[in-house]
Amino acid sequence: MAAGSAFACLCGVPLIAVSMGDPVGIGPEVVLKGFSAHPRRVHVGVPWVFRMTAAHLGLDLDIREVGSPEEAELTPPTVFSVVPVGETIAKPERLPFGQFDPRFAPATIASIGDCCRLALEGRVRAMVTPPIHKRVLYAAGHPFPGHTEFIASIAGVDNPVMMLVGKGLRVVPLTIHQSLVSVSSSINREKIESIVHSTWRSLIGDFGVASPRVTVAGLNPHAGEGGVFGREEIEIIGPACDHLRILLGPGLRGPLPADTLFHQAARHQYDAVILMYHDQALIPLKMLAFGAAVNVTLGLPFVRTSVDHGTAYDISGQGRADVSSFREALQLAETMANHRQKGWLAEPSVASFRR
């Protein structure tokens, strides 16, 4: 094990890197309010942003600047350790909470990138990201639409997969931020099989599910009703599921009607469910776990979790931010990192999961 990895696993507890988020959104607030001695973490960002936010909110924390994750590991667990990013920001008299301000974008971006690089070097075992404001980053010339695409580019991953986790439910949308009218043309067998593959691998390696059960939803009402309401299930989704069942066995089911997959009895029949579009996946998840769900990026060489909410400019700086999702993201990152440490297979094939 490399020296950095030894620090990242000191006493068997994975060290987690936490990015800064948007300095004038609720990100630094939830990070500060969610701070505790466990799990062990190092914060990557602008130290005075955390200090000014803590002072503004009346939070009494020992916030110290450190030079590296290794130095953070040697500080008492009650210390809020911050590794500063290279991008500097002119320190204002006060933080303009809730205001659109692109001058903070370079440090926000650097915070995410530095966390990724620490994870790729094995100096931390996972990263957790508070929310960012995409329009602010775009205004500063950042080309990526969100965390996931930026992190994947640094990690050299072409097809990251988004999973949302909460209240025992794991949902994976096949398509994400696109118009509903474009969804049908975006569905193909290769995409379905790739996302099922990533989900199956993650259930084993990240969540410790020895024999995964994955259900694939249909696109149309009643999963097409035999072609009456659409042929995607017959021509694309069904054949993909048939092929996957040959490789994975009876743990792979589908396509099934989406409207019957989320009642209490149905949720006990799978470990994860693949849905065809954004709202088909996120509406049931948010009905069950609003404010406490976690966004997970599958397919990366390290663990990455995130809060499932935005920057909430309307309440930033008011001390009203809910820390539930952040705490859940930290705990899930620790759990996933521990599972990977116990025996993650770096690049297993789908066939290796055949029963």
User: 185: domain CATH number?
Assistant: 3.40.718.10
Nearest residue to 273 (alpha-carbon basis) of 353, 164, 167, 184: 164
Q: Are residues 288 and 154 in the same domain?
A: no
Q: What mean pLDDT, rounded, does the chain reach?
A: 90
Residue 28: pLDDT band (50, 70, 90) is very high
Please spell the DSSP secondary structure of 146-162, one letter per residue: SHHHHHHHHHT-SS-EE
Q: Are strands 80-84 and 41-45 parallel, antiparallel or unpaired?
A: parallel
Q: What is the mean pLDDT of residues 84-95?
A: 88
For residues 139 and 134, give the distance between their C-alpha atoms in angstroms, rounded to a whole number. Answer: 9
Domain that holds residue 66: 1-158
One-letter amino acid identity for 75?
T
Q: At what angle do helices 324-343 and 189-205 cross, to 10 degrees?
A: 80
Q: Are residues 225 and 146 in the same domain?
A: no
Q: Are residues 295 and 168 in the same domain?
A: yes
Q: What share of the chain is helix, strand, coil (3-state, %, to 5)?
A: 45, 15, 40
Position 307 in a domain:
no
Q: Are residues 10 and 133 in the same domain?
A: yes
Look at 67-81, 127-141, 150-164 and tell me which has the smallest mean pLDDT: 127-141
Position 19 in a domain:
yes
Strand (E) or helix (H) holding 17? strand 16-19
Residue 210: pLDDT band (50, 70, 90) is very high
Q: Are residues 153 and 168 in the same domain?
A: no
> Does residue 279 carry a pLDDT above 80?
yes
Name the domain boundary from 158, 190, 218.
Answer: 158
Q: Are strands 161-166 and 169-173 parallel, antiparallel or unpaired?
A: antiparallel
Q: Are strands 126-129 and 169-173 parallel, antiparallel or unpaired?
A: unpaired
- The CA-atom distances, in angstroms, between 352 and each of 94, 228, 337, 355 are 56, 37, 22, 9
Q: Are residues 169 and 280 in the same domain?
A: yes
Q: What is the mean pLDDT of residues 88-114?
A: 91
How far does CA 131 lie from the centroid of its chain? 11
One-letter amino acid identity for 124?
V
Residue 46: pLDDT band (50, 70, 90) is very high
The answer to whether the CB of 289 falls within 8 A of the CB of 257 is: no
Instruction: Write down the pTM of the prediction.
Output: 0.89
